[in-house]
Amino acid sequence: MTRIRLKWWVVAATVLSCTATISVPARAQPRPAQRPAVGARTMRGGGSWQKGAEVRRTTQRWEIDVTRADDDSLSGRVTLAGSPLMQSGVLRGKVAGRRIEGSLSDDAGNHVATFIGTLTPGGGGQGTYQDRSGEVGRWSWDGQF
């Protein structure tokens, strides 16, 4: 009889320990926060640029068709009015937080200007540029980055 009880206790203890081991849930690992996929957004807007060295501060106009990709890179076309360096060309840039930076090149691929700036509360942008001749000025864009 003690042999049967002993076997029963061994079986019961084995089943109980296996059940306890199997039924303990694994701790869930938290997922890292991921940025939701936005996809590319195409934007169009007008703006102005102003030569810094001009005494009368004549404001020139421009139009931009730009795409902001999922990685916050900017690419598009720009049309300038009144620039001796370029009438239309390519814009490449990056948005990082509120900072905007990039460059303009003409259709032949020649560097025309670099620009830096910040996003404005309305979603546009403003900042400064320096063209390949060394001239520095201000720019603004009324589109939505």
Q: Domain map of the chain by residue range?
A: 41-141
Q: What is the mean pLDDT of the chain?
A: 79
In the chain, the percentage of residues whose pLDDT exceeds 70 is 66
The pLDDT score that the predictor gives to residue 36 is 44
What whole-number distance in Å separates Cα of residue 43 and Cα of residue 136?
26
Confidence of residue 22 (pLDDT cuts 50, 70, 90): low
Q: H-helix or E-strand containing 13?
A: helix 2-23
In the chain, the percentage of residues whose pLDDT exceeds 90 is 41
What whole-number distance in Å separates Cα of residue 41 and Cα of residue 27?
40
Between residues 123 and 79, which one has the greater pLDDT?
79
Predicted confidence (pLDDT) per residue in 118-143, tens digit: 999 888 899 999 999 999 999 998 87
Q: b or e along 88-109 (b: 16 or more beta carbons within 10 Å of the residue's beta carbon)?
A: ebbbebebeeeebebebbeeee
Between residues 129 and 45, which one has the greater pLDDT?
129
Nearest one of 42, 78, 41 to 63, comparing CA atoms: 78
Reduced to 3 states (helix: H, G, I; strand: E, B; else coil), residue 23 is helix
Between residues 121 and 53, which one has the greater pLDDT?
121
In this predicted structure, the answer to whether residue 16 has a pLDDT above a threshold of 90 is no
| Cβ-Cβ contacts under 8 Å for 29 (sequence gap 6 or more) | none
In this predicted structure, the answer to whether residue 104 has a pLDDT above a threshold of 90 is yes
Count other Cβ atoms within 10 Å, centred on residue 112.
Answer: 20
Q: The domain 41-141 is classified under which CATH number: 3.40.50.300, 2.60.450.10, 1.10.760.10, 2.40.128.120?
A: 2.40.128.120
